[in-house]
């Protein structure tokens, strides 16, 4: 994969490990990386295998459920804490 250095993709794609991360609107680098991948079958294979391994190890059903539950728990505990603060605030109570 070739992704830009904005948004969430650089969290998944590591430059030179499982793809390439390029600057936004850097058309020359995009063309260079495309050409590199088209010419080098072994590199394509290596990046693809590493990428697959990263996804298989890091994005399991168990991990996704665990991460989702953690977000819910953090959200609920934050809401509960704010609710308690409002209860004891003389103006907001």
Count CB atoms within 10 A of the CB of residue 38.
9
pTM of the predicted protein model: 0.65
Q: Give the H/E segment covering residue 88.
A: helix 61-88
Q: What is the mean pLDDT of the chain?
A: 90
pLDDT tens for residues 8-49? 999 889 999 999 999 999 999 999 999 999 999 999 999 999
Distance between CA 13 and CA 33 in Å, rounded? 14
Distance between CA 40 and CA 35 in Å, rounded? 9
* pLDDT for the residue 55: 86
């Amino acid at each position: 994969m070739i992704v830009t250095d904005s948004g969430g993709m650089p969290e998944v794609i590591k430059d030179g490990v499982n793809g390439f991360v390029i600057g936004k609107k850097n058309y020359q680098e995009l063309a260079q990386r495309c050409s590199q991948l088209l010419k080098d079958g072994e590199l394509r294979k290596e990046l693809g295998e590493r990428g697959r391994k990263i996804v298989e190890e890091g994005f399991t059903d168990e991990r996704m459920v665990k991460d989702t539950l953690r977000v819910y728990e953090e959200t609920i505990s934050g809401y509960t804490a704010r609710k308690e603060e409002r209860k004891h605030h003389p103006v907001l109570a």
